[in-house]
């Protein structure tokens, strides 16, 4: 029989959504490491989904924020915590706040305080502000939304949404681990459902696959497959209108876990699998994650017992002494200063190579020779980093300027019977299994209920097993702190789990430095806008056809302005409207899967804005129009709103005339 005594709910839960989309034009995109991939518009807006979980019996809470971002950096975490302290005092701290990224590779970068991730352009204040403001808005909404709730947890399996992109490295692991993952993937999908008075009002799903369905050829901002999964459940299924519903009735987050070697490109190459269309792949892979999660949500999900708890610590990952208990060779070892290997510059073949054509995964003989010479004269470096063919000595670069982070947070959250180990990096499935088992053993928890929350709170690149590290594929070469990085993190995870089990505190003598005053802002002053000769702002340059069948693509081009003047966070650059009696009803905006907003520079300082709408096959027949909203910086004046409206066009039923 279903449980109906909601008055016994132990927990309070709040949830909220906010827009965190950064600059849609001329911002270097973060993820693939290509200088030529810069934003030219929006396909799916990026969002932060915040959840506050409270146990009033012990007066403890945790805050989980799942963001449609490429990465979380300490720059974001530090500023968010500073703003939360101003607003809420000591309610939300570095110990009980987890900021985690879905790791889309199609978001604007430039928001880190470490130079490696900002490219040659430098720090981008507009994108940074959009992310922080949106996260704060989501947290404030979740805080105000707190209400009694039932927490339910279930696990399932998903086998057709990931493939191991580094199989040769994975196969070096012990037989027991390979047998645990017989298909070399982690199929576990975990769903946390939040009910109020018997009705689901929110879900968080965890599944390991990269958000690389969109390729490095794409330049439109997108939440990729996990962004689509969340959009589909919220908007398509539950009817959430992001513009009209500031307090939505349902929030669905699709979070990452140990996805380091998991690719969604099932065919073995960028944009390959299950189709040859990157947009369709994004939709299909997102839909598969949604469908398994929705099936779990619709089935029996037992009510979770357990409290809310948290532990965190900062460690200097470049100088950890790892005991023999965790190294696996009965000897003590030390991690080393960060260093990137040759294969790290090759990129991951399944998901997209970099522009560095002289590097490849595996053997790079010239760099290996140089490294062997260095190792001969530096035994401690050899013990930490061999057999890595070192190309980028991050420790040395950090003496010049802040390039990569060395002092990092590691965190453990308890939400009822679920435990989230926050790791600031990309953890392979075998490395994740070892971390999960370490925590489960210390806590006496069900191993399935312990998840690695990768991409959380900061970023250190990859975490591989020592066996995978020795292969020096992309992931191993990107394991910056050397062969003993995973054992060092296992050691820290065991300390956190033991402290949580015993109810004891964990102290940390070090913190990541605040680098906000050391930033070199990107050249962000935009020139005044001018429309193309012979046109005014908002004029239609290319009109739509007069008639379309449902399912056909409609495209309109406007004389516009640079979209970075105002990012329209929480708003839209476009509307698709249908005539409904005496009024126009908005049926799509720039947060919809069916629309794209594209910017291109014209002659001088003019801008051409292309708005496309792929009308659904079941679109209501009728009279439609497309509207554009922008902001122009005119010579000698402040920024002013501009806009335009297309001529009307008719949509006919799909089978019209057949």
DSSP 577-609: EEEETTEEEEEEETTSTTEEEEEEE-STT-EEE
| pLDDT at site 329 | 93
**What is d(CA 544, CA 557) in angstroms, rounded to the nearest whole number?**
9
- Judging by beta carbons within 10 Å of its beta carbon (0-12, 13-18, 19+), is residue 373 exposed, middle or buried? exposed
pLDDT at 358 over 90: no
Distance set, CA 555 to CA 19, 542, 588, 651 (Å): 25, 8, 14, 13
- Judging by beta carbons within 10 Å of its beta carbon (0-12, 13-18, 19+), is residue 9 exposed, middle or buried? middle
Average pLDDT over residues 316-345: 95
Question: Angle at which helices 429-443 and 485-502 pack, to 10 degrees?
Answer: 30
| pLDDT at site 634 | 87
| pLDDT at site 537 | 97
**% residues pLDDT > 70 (the chain):** 97
Average pLDDT over residues 26-50: 95
Average pLDDT over residues 545-566: 98
Average pLDDT over residues 510-536: 87
pLDDT at 298 over 50: yes
Average pLDDT over residues 190-218: 97
| pLDDT at site 121 | 76
Question: Angle at which helices 125-144 and 74-88 pack, to 10 degrees?
Answer: 40
Average pLDDT over residues 258-275: 96
Backbone torsion region of residue 330, taken as left when φ is above 0, otherwise alpha when ψ lies between -120 and 50, otherwise beta = left
Q: Among 212-221, 385-394, 513-522, where is mean pLDDT lowest?
A: 513-522
| pLDDT at site 148 | 97
Q: Spell out the domains of the chain, with CATH numbers in brackets.
A: 10-314+405-502 (no CATH), 540-652 (2.60.40.2300)
| pLDDT at site 6 | 54
pLDDT at 41 over 50: yes
pTM (2 d.p.) = 0.97
Tally helices (H) and strands (E) across the chain: 14, 36
pLDDT digits over 44-76, tens only? 999 999 999 999 999 999 999 999 999 999 999
Q: Which residue has the higher pLDDT, 635 or 393?
A: 393
pLDDT at 351 over 90: yes
Per-residue pLDDT band for 658 (boundaries 50, 70, 90) equals very low
pLDDT digits over 70-89, tens only? 999 999 999 999 999 999 99
Per-residue pLDDT band for 395 (boundaries 50, 70, 90) equals confident
**Could you tell me if 621 and 653 are in contact, meaning their C-beta atoms sit under 8 angstroms apart?**
yes
**Could you tell me if 209 and 429 are in contact, meaning their C-beta atoms sit under 8 angstroms apart?**
no
| pLDDT at site 359 | 87
| pLDDT at site 523 | 67
| pLDDT at site 532 | 94
| pLDDT at site 509 | 78
| pLDDT at site 520 | 77
Beta strands at 426-427 and 462-463: parallel, antiparallel or unpaired: parallel
| pLDDT at site 1 | 37
| pLDDT at site 349 | 84
**The token pair that represents 528 in the structure block:** 């005044």
Which residues are known catalytic residues? 263
pLDDT at 220 over 90: yes
Beta strands at 622-633 and 595-601: parallel, antiparallel or unpaired: unpaired
| pLDDT at site 533 | 93
The candidate with the shortest Cα–Cα distance to 323, out of 507, 487, 493, 499, is 487
pLDDT at 657 over 60: no
Q: Among 202-206, 401-405, 556-560, where is mean pLDDT lowest?
A: 401-405
Mean residue pLDDT across the chain: 95
Distance set, CA 500 to CA 95, 247, 286, 476, 504 (Å): 12, 34, 35, 31, 6
pLDDT digits over 145-167, tens only? 999 999 999 999 999 999 999 99
| pLDDT at site 9 | 83
Q: Among 207-221, 393-407, 459-473, where is mean pLDDT lowest?
A: 393-407
The candidate with the shortest Cα–Cα distance to 564, out of 601, 613, 538, 612, is 601
pLDDT digits over 94-134, tens only? 999 999 999 999 999 999 999 999 987 789 999 999 999 99
Per-residue pLDDT band for 656 (boundaries 50, 70, 90) equals very low
Query: By three-state DSSP, how is residue 12 classified?
Result: strand
| pLDDT at site 524 | 67
Q: Which residue has the higher pLDDT, 30 or 273?
A: 30
Average pLDDT over residues 380-394: 93
């Amino acid at each position: 029989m279903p449980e109906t005594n909601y008055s016994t709910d132990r927990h309070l839960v709040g949830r909220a959504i906010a827009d965190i989309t950064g600059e849609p034009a001329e911002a270097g995109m973060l993820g693939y490491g290509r200088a030529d991939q810069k934003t030219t518009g929006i396909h799916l807006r990026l969002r932060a989904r915040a959840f506050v979980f409270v146990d009033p019996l012990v007066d403890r809470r945790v805050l989980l924020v799942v963001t449609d971002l490429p990465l979380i950096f300490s720059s974001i975490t530090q500023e968010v915590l500073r703003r939360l302290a101003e607003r809420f005092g000591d309610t939300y701290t570095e110990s009980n706040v987890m900021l985690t990224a879905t790791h889309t590779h199609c978001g604007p970068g430039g928001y880190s305080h470490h130079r490696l991730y900002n490219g040659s352009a430098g720090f981008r204040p507009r994108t940074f502000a959009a992310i922080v403001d949106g996260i704060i808005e989501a947290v404030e909404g979740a805080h105000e939304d707190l209400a009694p709730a039932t927490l339910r947890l279930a696990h399932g399996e998903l086998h057709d949404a990931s493939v191991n992109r580094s199989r040769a490295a994975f196969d070096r692991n012990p037989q027991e681990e390979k047998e645990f993952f017989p298909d070399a993937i982690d199929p576990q999908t975990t769903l946390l459902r939040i009910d109020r008075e018997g009705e689901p009002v929110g879900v968080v799903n965890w599944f390991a696959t990269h958000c690389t369905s969109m390729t490095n050829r794409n330049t439109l901002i997108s939440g990729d497959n996990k962004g689509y999964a969340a959009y589909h459940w919220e908007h398509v299924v539950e009817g959430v209108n992001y513009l009209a519903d500031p307090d939505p009735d349902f929030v669905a987050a699709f979070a990452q876990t140990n996805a380091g070697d998991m690719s969604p490109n099932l065919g073995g190459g960028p944009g390959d699998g299950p189709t040859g269309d990157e947009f369709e792949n994004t939709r299909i892979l997102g839909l598969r994650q949604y469908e398994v999660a929705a099936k779990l949500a619709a089935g029996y999900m037992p009510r979770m017992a357990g409290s809310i708890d948290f532990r965190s610590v900062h460690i200097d990952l470049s100088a950890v002494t790892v005991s023999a208990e965790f190294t696996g060779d009965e000897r003590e070892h030390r991690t080393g200063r960060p260093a990137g290997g040759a294969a790290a510059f090759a990129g991951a073949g399944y998901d997209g190579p970099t522009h560095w054509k002289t590097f490849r995964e595996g053997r790079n003989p010239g760099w290996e020779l140089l490294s062997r010479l260095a190792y001969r004269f530096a035994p401690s470096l050899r013990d930490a980093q061999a057999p890595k063919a070192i190309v980028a000595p991050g420790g040395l670069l950090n003496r010049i300027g802040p390039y990569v982070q060395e002092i990092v947070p590691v965190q453990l959250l308890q939400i009822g019977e679920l435990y989230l180990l926050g790791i600031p990096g990309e953890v392979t499935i075998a490395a994740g299994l070892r971390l999960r088992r370490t925590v489960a053993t210390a806590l006496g928890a069900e191993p399935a209920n312990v998840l690695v929350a990768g991409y959380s709170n900061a970023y250190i690149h990859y975490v591989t097993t020592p066996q995978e590290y020795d292969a020096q594929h992309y992931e191993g070469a990107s394991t910056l702190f050397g062969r003993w990085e995973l054992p060092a993190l296992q050691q820290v995870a065991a300390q956190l789990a033991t402290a949580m089990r015993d109810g004891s505190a964990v102290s940390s003598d070090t913190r990541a430095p605040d680098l906000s005053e050391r930033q070199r802002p990107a050249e962000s002053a935009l020139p005044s806008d001018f429309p193309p000769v012979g046109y005014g702002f908002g004029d239609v340059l290319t009109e739509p056809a007069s008639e379309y069948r449902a399912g056909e693509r409609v495209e309109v081009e406007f004389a516009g302005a640079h979209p970075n003047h105002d990012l329209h966070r929480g708003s839209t650059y476009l509307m698709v409207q249908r005539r409904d009696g005496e009024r126009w009803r908005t049926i799509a905006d720039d947060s919809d899967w069916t629309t794209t907003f594209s910017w291109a520079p014209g002659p001088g300082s003019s801008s051409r804005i292309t708005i496309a709408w792929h009308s659904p096959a079941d679109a209501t027949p009728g009279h439609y129009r497309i509207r554009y909203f922008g902001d122009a910086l005119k010579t000698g004046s402040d920024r002013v709103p501009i806009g335009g409206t297309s001529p009307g066009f008719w949509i006919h039923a799909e089978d019209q005339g057949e």
